[in-house]
Structure 1
C-alpha cells in the first residue's frame, strides 16, 4: 500500500515500556547543549555523540512504531496501524545499520523477525504491485545476506529480482516501470533500485547478464532523466503516455542515481561513473530545490518523509569512497556533518525522540514512520562517518 506521493502518488502513540534509566541516559547524552560553561577561561566544545543518540533513536523508534502483532512497523505514532511496504523495507535497512555499528544480536533477531513479518503483513508473499517497493526490500535483503550469510535473505532478494524484471520493456526505450498496472510509466525509484540490485547481484554471482542489465538501466536513466549539465535527476517519464518528463525534483532520486553510479564504479573502475556521481552530488548539496542553507529541505511527511534518508544513505557511500578526491570527500562530509548536527540539536523532540520532517525545527503533532526513518538514517550515517574519522 502506498501513501499519497507529491502530485501523483496514491501519497499510536504506542505506550513506551522504556526504563527510566534509559530515558535519563538519552537526556544526558542526546539533549540540546549543556548549560553554559561558567569557567570563562576555557571553552569546552559540545561533543556530538552520534552513536549514543543512534542507540536511543533505535530504541524509541522500535518501541513507538512496532505493530501490536510484532510483524511490522505502523504508519505513524498517532493511531494509524496501516502496513506500508516500502517504509518497512527501509526499517530493515535501519536495523541493519544498527547491527553493523553495534554487532548486537538484538538487531539480527529484529531484522529476521521483520523479514518474516513483512511477508505475513503483505498477505503471505513478498511481491506486490509496485516495482520500486520491491526494489527497496530486495536491496535491503541482499545487503543482509552479504552481512549474515543467511540464505533466507538471499531467497527474498532473488524472488523480488525476478519479479522486478517483469517491469522492464521497450516503452520509452527502457527503464523499469513504477507499477504493474502502469507498465508504460518509468521512473527513477524503480529503475535506480534495480540498477543497484543488478550491480550487487553481479558482485555476488559474477554473472555477465547482471552487469549488462545494470549498465543498460543506468544508461537509460542518464539519457532520459538526468540533466547532463547540472546533474539534477528528474523523477519519471511517460506518466500520461505522452512521452513527457515529470520535472519533479526529489532528494531520493538524486540518492538513487548517485548510488547506481557508485556501484558501477566499484565494479568497473570507469571514472565516468564517478564523475556522474560527483556532478549529481554537487548539485544535490547546493540546489535550492533540494537544500536550504546547507540542509536537505523538508519534503513533508507521507512518502516524502523518507526521501532525505535515501539521499543521505547513498551520499554517505560516495563520501566514504576511497577513490574520491580529498576535496570532494571533505565537501560531502561537511555537508553531512552539518545536517547531522542540525538534526541532533534542533529536529528531535525530547523526551519522545520523535523526528521532524524539517531538521531545523522540533516536530509537532503526529510523526510518520517515514519521517522518523530519515532522521535515524542521518544519525546512523553520522555515527559511521565519525567512527571512520570523516566528521567530528
Structure 2
C-alpha cells in the first residue's frame, strides 16, 4: 500500500473518531431515553412511576415534579431531532394532573383521578416555561393559552408579606422561595415576548427586584428561601436557583436594553462556574443542573466565551463515565424519574449544541 493510501486511511479513521466524539451526547441521549421508557413508563396506563425500582413509600403513579423535567426534556429532544410527537405525549400525562379548584385552575402534585394533592407554584411554572418554549418553536396557540392559565394561577401566590414575592406551595404561608420566583420571572418574560403585554414585564421586574433584595448572596449566587414569620434566610445554594435568576437577567436585558441586567448575568455566571463546576463534577442533582444549563445556553446569544459550556460538559462527561448504571439509567443508588429527566434534558441540550460548538 502506498503512502498516499495510508495517509487517506489514517485521515478517514481520525475523522471517524472525531465524529464519534462529537456525537457522544446524541448517542447517550438515545440510550437514556430508551432506558427511561423501559423502566418508568407504566404500560397501558398513561402514567409514569416515581422510581425505577419500587420504593416502600411510592404511590401508584409519579408525582407531578418529575413530569416537569420530562416535558422540558421532550421539548429539547424535539428541537434536536426536528421530529414532533414526544412533547404532546408527555403533556397528555400532565393533563391528568389538571385541577380546577378555586381560586384558579392549575396542576396538582398528584393526579385528581388518583386522589389529588397539593399544588406547588414552581411545579406549574416549570410546565409553563416548557409550554412557552414549545409555543415559540411550533406556534401552537394551545400552549400559549395554557401558559397564560399557569401565570394566572401563579399570581395567586403573591402578597405583600416580606415586601412581595411568591409563595412556594398553595396554602402554605411559611416561606417564599427563589425556586417559585425565579421561574415565575421566566414565565412572565416569555409571555411578554409572546404578547407584547407590558403587564408581564412589570411582573417580572417586580419579582426580580424582590429576589435580589432578599435572597441573593454577596457572591452573586442565591439562597433557597426566606421565612415569612422570622425573616430568617435558608442559606442553602442550589444550581437551579442561580440558573433561573441568571436567565431572568438575560431576558430582562433583551427586553429593556439595560446593560445592568447583562452585568448581573455575567456576575452570576462567573460565580456559578466557580461554585458549581470547578471541581469537574456536579455538585447537586441532575435536574437542578439542567436548569442551569438553560441559562448557560441562553448566555451564548450574547458571548462567544465557551468556558461555561465547557465546564458543564466536563461535569456531564464525568457523570456518564462514573455514574451510569448497568441498566442505562444515571446516578448511584435508587433511580428516580426527576433525576433521569434532568439528565435527559442535559443530554438533549448538549447534543443540540455540539452540532455548532466544540466543547
State the TM bucket, normalised to the shorter chain: 0.7 to 0.9
1:193–1:126 CA distance, 2 compared to 1 (3 A)? farther
| C-alpha contact (below 8 Å) 2:175/2:226 kept by paired residues | yes
1:346 partnered with 2:326 = no
Q: In structure 1, what is the equivalent of residue 186 of structure 2?
A: 196
1:311 partnered with 2:297 = no
More strand as a share of residues: 2
Q: In structure 2, what is the equivalent of residue 110 of structure 1?
A: 89
1:280 partnered with 2:268 = yes
| C-alpha contact (below 8 Å) 1:65/1:76 kept by paired residues | yes
Structure 1: gaps spanning 5 or more residues: 1-38, 300-304, 357-362
- Number of matched residues? 329
Q: In structure 1, what is the equivalent of residue 166 of structure 2?
A: 176
Structure 2: gaps spanning 5 or more residues: 1-9, 100-109
Normalised by the length of structure 2, the TM-score is: 0.84
Question: Alpha-carbon deviation of 1:183?
Answer: 3.0
Report 1:19-98 matches (<5 A): 47-49=21-23, 50-79=25-54, 80=58, 81-98=60-77
1:259 partnered with 2:247 = yes
Question: Alpha-carbon deviation of 1:220?
Answer: 0.7
| C-alpha contact (below 8 Å) 1:76/1:366 kept by paired residues | yes
Normalised by the length of structure 1, the TM-score is: 0.77
State the alpha-carbon separation in 2 of the partners of residues 69 and 181 from structure 1.
35
2:172 is paired with a residue of what secondary structure? coil
State the alpha-carbon separation in 2 of the partners of residues 146 and 57 from structure 1.
26
State the alpha-carbon separation in 1 of the partners of residues 173 and 202 from structure 2.
21
Question: Alpha-carbon deviation of 1:210?
Answer: 0.7
State the alpha-carbon separation in 2 of the partners of residues 112 and 169 from structure 1.
30
State the alpha-carbon separation in 2 of the partners of residues 163 and 311 from structure 1.
25
Question: Alpha-carbon deviation of 1:181?
Answer: 1.9
1:298–1:196 CA distance, 2 compared to 1 (3 A)? closer
Match of 1:156 among 146, 166, 169: 146
Question: Alpha-carbon deviation of 1:203?
Answer: 0.3
| C-alpha contact (below 8 Å) 1:90/1:140 kept by paired residues | no
Q: In structure 2, what is the equivalent of residue 330 of structure 1?
A: 306
Q: Quick one: higher RCO (CA 8 Å, sep 6+), 1 or 2? A: 2
Instruction: Answer with 208-217 or 75-84: which moved more.
Output: 75-84
| C-alpha contact (below 8 Å) 1:92/1:111 kept by paired residues | yes
Q: Once superposed, what is the RMSD of the aligned Cα atoms?
A: 2.5
